[in-house]
């Protein structure tokens, strides 16, 4: 395939990537692209990205979530006023076996914050960020050292990635939330080597729903 010889679907994908880069100054994920052009299968999106790469429109590193680069990137622009949202970095959350949450996390200053694009999180009200410790959500593209931005809520739907507090154990964890037919709660890891956690509904307190994952360079991160 030569440059210019794109299918309609590939042109839509390329246009979306260009627009996303221009608005956010970083690339979209495969799931972002699929939602934008109406493709449910990530493998179909990946196939078309490979075709765009082979045709010389993009460079691609399939090992990372946002591993796309335009061969001819749009001009960078300074984000418009109000395009960024300041979110407090509240501490750490453990994506592993639940562990006690310390009363205070001394490794973070009380006023420490991060800035994220408003286009990615919407309304800034009730947002907070946590640094992830552990690898139980690695197949959900959430690894050790990554930052998750959450919306404060006590309500979760099946499949939501949430921070939960287990009241009886006085422990916290980050997992996918499901209500079993029996009424008990299943906290599902995204790691085939780890088993789900089951708890009675009255023992589970949802503290926030993840709305954005900021992946960090492997081997880096805070602390």
Residues labelled as active-site residues = 136, 175
Phi/psi region, residue 159 (left: phi>0; alpha: psi -120 to 50; beta: rest), is left
Report yes or no: 65 and 28 within 8 Å, Cβ to Cβ: no
Looking at 60-145, list the stretches that DSSP marks H as alpha helix, in order from N- to C-terminal side: 118-121
Q: What DSSP string runs through 153-206?
A: -S---TT-EEEEEETTTTEEEEEEEEE-TTS-EEEE-S-TTS--EEE-GGGEEE
The total of other beta-carbon atoms located within 10 Å of residue 182's CB is 9
Q: Which residues pair with 178 in a beta bridge?
A: 186
């Amino acid at each position: 395939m030569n440059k210019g010889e794109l299918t309609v679907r590939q042109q839509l994908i390329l246009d979306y990537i260009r627009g996303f880069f221009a608005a956010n100054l970083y690339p979209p994920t495969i799931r972002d692209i699929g939602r934008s052009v109406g493709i449910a299968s990530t493998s179909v999106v990946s196939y078309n990205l490979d075709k765009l790469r082979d045709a010389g429109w993009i460079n691609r590193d399939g090992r990372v979530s946002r591993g796309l680069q335009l061969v001819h990137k749009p001009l960078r622009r300074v984000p418009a006023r109000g395009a960024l949202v300041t979110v407090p970095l509240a501490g750490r959350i453990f994506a592993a076996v639940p562990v006690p949450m310390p009363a205070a996390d001394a490794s973070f200053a009380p006023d420490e914050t991060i800035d994220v694009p408003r286009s990615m999180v919407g309304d800034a009200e009730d947002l907070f960020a946590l640094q992830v410790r552990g690898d139980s959500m690695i197949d959900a593209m959430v690894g050790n050292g990554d930052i998750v931005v959450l919306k404060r809520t006590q309500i979760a739907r099946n499949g939501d990635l949430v921070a939960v507090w287990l009241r009886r154990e006085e422990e916290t964890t980050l997992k996918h939330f499901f209500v079993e037919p029996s009424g008990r709660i299943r906290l599902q890891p995204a790691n085939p080597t780890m088993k789900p956690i089951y708890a009675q509904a009255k023992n589970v307190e949802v503290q926030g729903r993840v709305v954005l994952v900021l992946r960090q360079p492997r081997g880096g991160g805070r602390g």
